[in-house]
Amino acid sequence: MKIALGSDHGGFVLKEEIKGHLLAKGYEVEDFGCYSLDSVDYNEAAISVSEGVASGLFNRGILVCGTGIGMSIMANKVKGIRAALVHDLFTAKATREHNDTNVLTMGGRVIGGGLALDIVDTWLETEFSNAERHLRRITKINNY
Ligand code: RB5
């Protein structure tokens, strides 16, 4: 599985931790920045990661900013992206089963690395349910 990663300064530390975790697990990872704690807008990384996923170059994207909110709003502007802001394990599982989300966003100032890595694992390993009602709702999102 190929995963695109991105952050702003508020998510940089957690993004680096997630990158190390994914590489250790054997995932193919591309890091679209940022690359330091210097202040940057979240928009560019969100767009690069989201366009990479929407185009099919990457299977999934993970974006981290201070709260996860800016990344989530920006990613969901990209056609074909269903991004979910997740800070708990129940939602990590449910958003894969129900929404078939292809981008995960989190807040580096909201949760610690331990929970964040469990969320990443749960989100990556949970399959979409393929239930008719969920497909119907996703189709309505896609058609809007
Ligand atoms: C940066 O200070 C912060 O606003 C950003 O990381 C993010 O939380 C925005 O949604």
Q: What percent of the chain has pLDDT over 90?
A: 100
Burial category of 139 from C-beta neighbours within 10 Å (exposed 0-12, middle 13-18, buried 19 and up): exposed
The mean pLDDT value for 19-31 works out to: 98
pLDDT of residue 90: 98
- For 83-130, write each residue's pLDDT tens digit: 999 999 999 999 999 999 999 999 999 999 999 999 999 999 999 999
Atom number, ligand 1, closest to the C-alpha of residue 8? 6
Q: What percent of the chain has pLDDT over 70?
A: 100
pTM of the model: 0.98
pLDDT of residue 110: 98
Which residue's CA is the closest to the ligand 1 atom numbered 3?
66
**Per-domain residue ranges of the chain:** 2-143
> Quick check: is 134 catalytic?
no
> Quick check: is 21 catalytic?
no
Task: Please spell the DSSP secondary structure of 63-123, one letter per residue.
Answer: EEESSSHHHHHHHTTSTT--EEE--SHHHHHHHHHHH--SEEEEETTTS-HHHHHHHHHHH
Angle between helices 132-143 and 89-99 (to 10 degrees): 80
Q: Which of 9, 87, 98, 134 is catalytic?
A: 98
Q: Which of 21, 65, 87, 134 is catalytic?
A: 65
* Ligand 1 environment, Cβ below 6 A: 8, 10, 42, 65-67, 69-70
Q: What is the mean pLDDT of the chain?
A: 98
Atom number, ligand 1, closest to the C-alpha of residue 107? 8
Where does the pLDDT of residue 142 fall: very low under 50, low under 70, confident under 90, or very high at 90 and above?
A: very high
- For 49-85, write each residue's pLDDT tens digit: 999 999 999 999 999 999 999 999 999 999 999 999 9
Superfamily of domain 2-143: Sugar-phosphate isomerase, RpiB/LacA/LacB (3.40.1400.10)
Tell me, in angstroms, the distance from the centre of ligand 1 to residue 136's CA.
33
pLDDT of residue 23: 98
